[in-house]
Amino acid sequence: MGEYRVGLNLKVVAVNGSPRMEKGATNRILAPFIEGLKNGGASVELFHLEKMKIRPCLGELKCWRETPGECFYKDDMQDIYEALRKADVLVIATPVYVPLPGVIQDFLNRIVPLLEPVLELRNGRTRAKMRNNVNISKFVLVSTSGWWELGNFDRVVHIVEELAETSSVEFAGSLLRPHARMMLELPEEAQEIFDATTEAGYQLVTNGNITKQILEEISKPLISEEEYWARR
């Protein structure tokens, strides 16, 4: 795992898998988070995956066997590889799409060239680690969903937690925004959420972690469950 350099010069790569890109709810949470990261002194490179040509992994594992660390598909993922090799933090932003949009799944599969093909057993599970020329030491998840309850994010959180374990990278937390449409419909009430999201970015850069209190503030209900169902 790369060494985490708190504060200035921290490099963050964010990928947003929302097909609605800049105008989507996911970006409405990702943007203040990025603002906070920059306030803390980080540089941030953002990729909207939907704009890019990222082919699904073909499963040949040439990146492990024949051309170590290199994917033979010379598509737009090559730009992301270049950024990822220099990054300290990877932010994966995605809407919940039963559970993921296809482009995020393709992106996650295409991370494999960055992993050493050396597997080991840890606590009964097969794990790998990032290659020595990859500096990433933390993953963060940013996600929005349509439905009211937080449990609806469980599968997405689990996927990113598992990827972090498998890559031997620290999972630095999940910024989860349920019933995301309400945040757009009630912008005044949502302002505290956006402020907490900016604070989360700042904390990550300056402290290396995000407090539980801030994560809970980001996820707090904007309306009651009864009201949610009454509005549907």
Ligand X SMILES: Cc1cc2nc3c(=O)[nH]c(=O)nc-3n(C[C@H](O)[C@H](O)[C@H](O)COP(=O)(O)O)c2cc1C
Binding residues for ligand X, rule: CB under 6 A, are: 18, 20, 24-26, 95-98, 144-147, 152, 180
In whole angstroms, how close is the CB of 232 to ligand X at the nearest point?
Answer: 12
Using the structure block, give the residue that is written with the tokens 């169902």.
Answer: 229
In whole angstroms, how close is the CB of 153 to ligand X at the nearest point?
Answer: 8
β-pair partners for 137: none
Nearer to ligand X, 4 or 97 (CB): 97
In whole angstroms, how close is the CB of 190 to ligand X at the nearest point?
Answer: 13
Q: Which residue minimizes CB distance to ligand X?
A: 24
Task: Mark residue 98 as left, alpha or beta (left: phi above 0; alpha: psi -120 to 50; beta: remaining).
Answer: left
Nearer to ligand X, 30 or 214 (CB): 30
Nearer to ligand X, 95 or 113 (CB): 95
CA 172 – CA 209 distance, rounded (Å):
6
In whole angstroms, how close is the CB of 142 to ligand X at the nearest point?
Answer: 10
**Residue 138 · residue 172 · CB < 8 Å:** yes
In whole angstroms, how close is the CB of 72 to ligand X at the nearest point?
Answer: 31
Nearer to ligand X, 49 or 169 (CB): 49
Chain centroid, CA 204 distance in Å: 13
Spatial CA neighbour of 43 closest among 88, 86, 9: 9
For residue 178, what are the CA distances in angstroms to 2, 27, 222? Answer: 32, 14, 9
Give the dihedral of Cα atoms 31, 32, 34, 38; nearest 10 deg.
140
CA 130 – CA 113 distance, rounded (Å):
9
Nearer to ligand X, 64 or 147 (CB): 147
